[in-house]
């Protein structure tokens, strides 16, 4: 009962503060609703970026990966810091100079409207079919399990899951659809404090559990008994082989932090460029600490349970259940709920923005006043949320989705990132090159990862088994060597698409060179310490890799 009361109390507190912080925002305009009136400051941007990124599929999934592979999976966190520095220095000044509300808006100016529409459609498809249902499902599994909802309500596991899905979906929809970006960003910032507090408590209590009450003794025991698991350089067959951080890993990070609408929308709402850059840099610094929450608990769980868990995805929830004092379960559940809610309402808000600005205003009612655009954006958001809530229970296994999601997102992430990079770095590559780049990139990736790769791996495994290889570890290496890692494939296709677009631009250039105009919507004087702070963050990341390299 205490746990439930603390959960309800903290969640209600977030809602009340968000309401009072946003009640005077003009949400009848596109800027007011979609970008919080272009008034977001560094702290709010940083908090919202972190909470938008974090959810149960990461907290549970990445710790599960660490349970299996050790420290090398920290690449998903630490390299994000470098990507955010690059975004702050290179991309954000151009976004704010052009007065963008959505990333695809740039593509309309640089190429043409149809390129923008195709890109918005790809974003929306990825959000609706994959992200929203997965966030709802994985979050509901965590909340249902933590509070033992089936026993509490006297219902079956499946019914409890549906109840949690609709509960999270309805609350998230209220924030995102009816509150706009500023409500999302404010609630994110409050939840960020709770998540950082609760998130750091898990490894602390975990280390105390294995160190007989001492955090330092626990850490020393962990590092001395399993030193090979503290290697920052992943090996072949693991989730993040070391070579991938120089190829597709950085492309994925740059797409996610620099061009993904659900993420970059927080920085687009900055009151000026300096605040946006400071927000990104603050988030980058905090991201370096991410492995303490998203990797270390998985490694502690491997030691605590002696590698005996039935599934790696049980590592985090089982560790929480084993080491967290019972009175704190409610608070931690509220923090976790905030992370789930943040990811859901952030994706939903970005989807509403994409539809309202890039679809409705562009193709359905070009003469619509801003209040009408916002109105129909909200209607679309409600429909989208309902669709996600109906789809979510159909997902069979949330635990296996973490790696799969990283791979499947390549269908749209790399093609979109390619045309944005080429669009900013060149002036005469035409619209037809962007369209070919999107379709060829998506099609080739699908062929590679879902036809050619599986067939080659299957043939290699069959040959190995025929030769008498039966050891599971050996077979895993055979499978890994049979076809390039999907992150390498992303890098190959990125370079191929760039070359294709440049060739088209050489033989069929634009009639006039593209020039990015300054819309003067916000001040674009950069943060005066951007270079020094950016270099410092990159140096810290490289130093961490060198220190833990074996």
Burial of 378 (0-12, 13-18, 19+ CB in 10 A): buried
- Topology of domain 2-15+26-403+524-548 in CATH is Sodium/glucose cotransporter (1.20.1730)
User: What three-state secondary structure class fits 33?
Assistant: helix
Provide the H-helix boundaries in 354-485. Answer: 370-391, 401-408, 410-425, 431-447, 453-466, 472-482
pLDDT interval class at 79 (50, 70, 90): very high
Residue 397 has a CB neighbour count (10 Å cut-off) of: 11
The answer, yes or no, to whether residue 358 has pLDDT greater than 50, is yes
> How large is the average pLDDT for residues 55-71?
84
- Please write the tens of the pLDDT for every residue from 144-171: 777 778 888 888 878 888 898 888 888 7
> Looking at residue 402, what is its pLDDT?
59
Arithmetic mean of pLDDT over the chain: 83
Q: Which residue, 537, 454, 484, is CA-closest to 236? A: 484
Describe the crossing of helices 132-147 and 315-323 by its angle, rounded to 10 degrees: 30
- For residue 40, the 8-state DSSP code is B
Among the ranges given (121-130, 485-494, 514-523), the one the predictor scored with the smallest mean pLDDT:
121-130
Among the ranges given (66-75, 326-335, 387-396, 516-525), the one the predictor scored with the smallest mean pLDDT:
326-335
CB contact at 8 A, 544 and 232: yes
> Looking at residue 92, what is its pLDDT?
93
- Please write the tens of the pLDDT for every residue from 297-353: 999 999 999 888 877 777 887 888 788 887 777 777 777 777 777 677 667 777 777
> How large is the average pLDDT for residues 96-107?
84
CB contact at 8 A, 115 and 302: no
Beta bridge partners of 234: 241
For the chain, which residues make up each domain, given as ranges?
2-15+26-403+524-548
Residue 7 has a CB neighbour count (10 Å cut-off) of: 22
- Nearest 5°: the CA angle 278, 279, 281 is 65
- Please write the tens of the pLDDT for every residue from 6-29: 566 655 665 565 555 555 544 444
- Please write the tens of the pLDDT for every residue from 425-464: 999 999 999 999 999 999 999 999 889 988 998 898 888 8
CB contact at 8 A, 65 and 73: yes
- Please write the tens of the pLDDT for every residue from 244-289: 999 999 999 999 999 887 788 778 888 899 999 999 999 999 899 8
> How large is the average pLDDT for residues 524-529?
92
Among the ranges given (36-50, 225-239, 433-447, 460-474), the one the predictor scored with the smallest mean pLDDT:
36-50
CB contact at 8 A, 265 and 181: yes
Please enumerate in sequence order all residues whose Cβ is within 8 A of that of 168, keeping only pairs 6 or more positions apart, or say none. Answer: 136, 139, 140, 143, 337, 340, 341, 344
CB contact at 8 A, 109 and 298: no
User: What three-state secondary structure class fits 145?
Assistant: helix
**CA gap 175, 191 in Å, rounded:** 13
Please enumerate in sequence order all residues whose Cβ is within 8 A of that of 308, keeping only pairs 6 or more positions apart, or say none. Answer: none
The encoded tokens of residue 78 equal 């630490």
Residue 158 has a CB neighbour count (10 Å cut-off) of: 10
**CA gap 51, 61 in Å, rounded:** 16
């Amino acid at each position: 009962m205490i746990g439930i009361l603390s959960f309800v109390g903290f969640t209600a507190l977030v809602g009340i503060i968000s309401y009072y912080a946003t009640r005077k925002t003009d949400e009848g305009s596109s800027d007011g609703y979609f970008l919080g009136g272009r008034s977001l400051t560094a702290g709010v941007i940083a908090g919202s970026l972190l909470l938008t990124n974090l959810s149960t599929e990461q907290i549970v999934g990445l710790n599960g990966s660490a349970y299996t592979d050790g420290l090398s999976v920290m690449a998903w966190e630490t390299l994000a810091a470098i990507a955010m520095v690059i975004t702050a220095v290179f991309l954000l000044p151009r976004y704010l100079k052009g007065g963008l509300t959505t990333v695809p808006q740039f593509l309309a100016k640089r190429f043409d409207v149809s390129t923008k529409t195709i890109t918005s459609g790809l974003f929306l498809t990825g959000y609706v079919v994959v992200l929203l249902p997965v966030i709802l499902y994985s979050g509901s599994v965590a909340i249902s399990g933590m509070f033992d909802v089936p026993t509490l309500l006297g219902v079956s596991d499946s019914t409890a899951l549906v109840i949690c899905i609709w509960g999270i979906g309805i609350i998230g929809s209220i924030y995102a659809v009816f509150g706009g970006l500023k409500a999302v960003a404010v609630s994110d910032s409050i939840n960020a404090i709770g998540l950082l507090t609760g998130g750091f408590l898990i490894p602390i209590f975990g280390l105390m559990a294995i160190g007989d009450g001492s955090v330092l003794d626990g850490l020393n025991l962990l590092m001395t008994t399993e030193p090979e698991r503290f290697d920052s350089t992943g090996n072949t067959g693991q989730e993040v082989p070391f070579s991938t951080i120089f190829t597709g890993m950085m492309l994925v990070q740059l797409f996610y932090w620099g061009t993904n609408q659900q993420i970059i929308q927080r920085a687009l709402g900055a009151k000026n460029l300096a605040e946006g850059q400071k927000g990104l840099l603050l988030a980058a610094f905090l991201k370096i600490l991410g492995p303490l929450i998203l990797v270390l608990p998985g490694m502690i769980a491997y030691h605590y349970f002696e590698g005996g868990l039935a599934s790696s995805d049980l590592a985090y929830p089982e560790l929480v259940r084993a080491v967290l004092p019972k009175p704190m379960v409610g608070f931690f559940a509220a923090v976790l709920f905030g992370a789930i809610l943040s990811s859901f309402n952030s994706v939903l808000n970005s989807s509403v923005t994409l539809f309202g600005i890039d679809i409705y205003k562009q193709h359905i009612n070009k003469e619509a006043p801003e209040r009408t655009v916002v109105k129909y954006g909200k209607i679309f958001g409600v429909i989208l949320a309902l669709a996600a809530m109906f789809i979510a229970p159909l997902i069979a296994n949330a635990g296996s989705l973490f790696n799969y999601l990283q791979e499947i997102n390549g269908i749209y992430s790399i093609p979109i990132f390619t045309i944005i990079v080429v669009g900013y770095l060149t002036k005469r590559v035409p619209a037809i090159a962007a369209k070919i780049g999107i379709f060829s990139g998506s099609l080739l990736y699908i062929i590679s990862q879902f036809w050619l790769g599986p067939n080659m791996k299957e043939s290699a495994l069959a040959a190995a088994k025929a030769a008498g290889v039966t050891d599971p570890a050996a077979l895993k290496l055979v499978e890994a060597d049979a076809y390039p890692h999907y992150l390498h494939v992303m890098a190959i296709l990125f370079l191929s698409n760039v070359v294709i677009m440049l060739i088209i631009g050489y033989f069929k250039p634009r009639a006039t060179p593209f020039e990015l105009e300054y819309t003067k919507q916000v001040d674009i004087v950069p943060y005066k310490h951007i270079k020094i702070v950016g270099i410092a963050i990159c140096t810290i990341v490289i130093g961490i890799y060198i220190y833990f390299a074996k």
